[in-house]
Amino acid sequence: MTVEDLVREGIDAYNSGDRERYEAVFAPDAVAKEAATGREIHGAGAIGEMIFGWKAAFPDMVGEIVNLFAAGDQVAVEMIWRGTHTGPLMTPDGQTVPPTNSKLDNPGCLVFTIKDGKVIEQRHYFDLATLMRQLGLMPSG
């Protein structure tokens, strides 16, 4: 499997709601970083828990790949995340945002490092202010 195929497999697994398949693309000691929330998560299972926390808040959420670039063991993916906020959204500090039933259409970028056929690092960049505005949690301006 190419590095591009591995990344596409993870995104497809997320889109279909298959957490076990999603976690399988990660090395057991992988690290995931979310720049917008400041979270850094260690371990494939913990990464799955964090990522599928988003899926619990947005059950219909899918990531659409806009562009995918690979160079050696690095893959960068430009994404658009789309979904409806119909479940509770857990924040990194333990608070809960109740469902707003708002639509989300948020661009993002994922950067992956691959080693021995597994993701060892994922860095996720997305616009938290846009997400908050789309959910009605922050005024548009």
Ordered mean pLDDT values, 10 residues apiece, the chain (141 residues): 96 97 98 94 96 95 97 97 95 89 96 98 94 87 66
Asked if 128 and 81 touch (Cβ cutoff 8 Å), the reply is no
Residue among 27, 26, 92, 79 nearest 53 (CA): 92
Q: Give me the pLDDT at residue 124, please.
A: 97
Q: Give me the pLDDT at residue 40, please.
A: 96
Helix axes 44-57, 3-16, angle to 10 degrees: 40
Q: State pTM to two decimals.
A: 0.92
The encoded tokens of residue 75 equal 């893959």
Rounded CA separation 54/35 (Å): 15
Rounded CA separation 141/57 (Å): 25
In words, the CATH class of domain 3-134 is alpha beta
Rounded CA separation 86/104 (Å): 11
